[in-house]
């Protein structure tokens, strides 16, 4: 079974982040690598990302200075196990 990397750029979305992450981790396809890129959030989004990483070993968190959506996506691609190919969802 191939690994699928899911990259989630995160910036000040504390109100919606838990619902988003619950949806991803509860997928029936279990061979996922979930990369959360906290793009310099000023709310508690980064803390929520870290909490979920403690709960689910498939989750990796990157905290970076704000650089925008493309920068966050590219940071996720840099650590993407699937190599950023056909099995990487941003």
Q: How far apart are CA 69 and CA 87, in angstroms?
A: 20
Topology annotation, domain 4-89: Spore Coat Polysaccharide Biosynthesis Protein SpsA; Chain A (3.90.550)
Chain position carrying tokens 């099995």: 87
Paired with 60 in beta bridges are 35
Average of per-residue pLDDT across 66-75: 94
Distances (CA, A) of 50 to 2, 9, 53: 26, 14, 5
CB atoms within 10 A of CB 38: 25
What is the residue extent of each domain of the chain? 4-89
pTM comes to: 0.90
pLDDT band at 3 (very low <50, low <70, confident <90, very high): confident
pLDDT band at 80 (very low <50, low <70, confident <90, very high): confident
Report phi then psi at 28, rounded to 5. Answer: -70, -30
């Amino acid at each position: 079974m191939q690994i699928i990397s899911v990259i989630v750029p995160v910036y000040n979305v504390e109100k919606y982040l838990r619902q988003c992450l619950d949806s991803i981790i509860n997928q029936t396809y279990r061979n996922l690598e979930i990369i959360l890129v906290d793009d310099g959030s000023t709310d508690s989004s980064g803390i929520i990302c870290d909490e979920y990483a403690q709960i689910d070993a498939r989750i990796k968190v990157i905290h970076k200075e704000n650089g925008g959506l493309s920068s966050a996506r590219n940071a996720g691609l840099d650590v993407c196990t699937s190599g950023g190919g056909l099995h990487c969802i941003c």
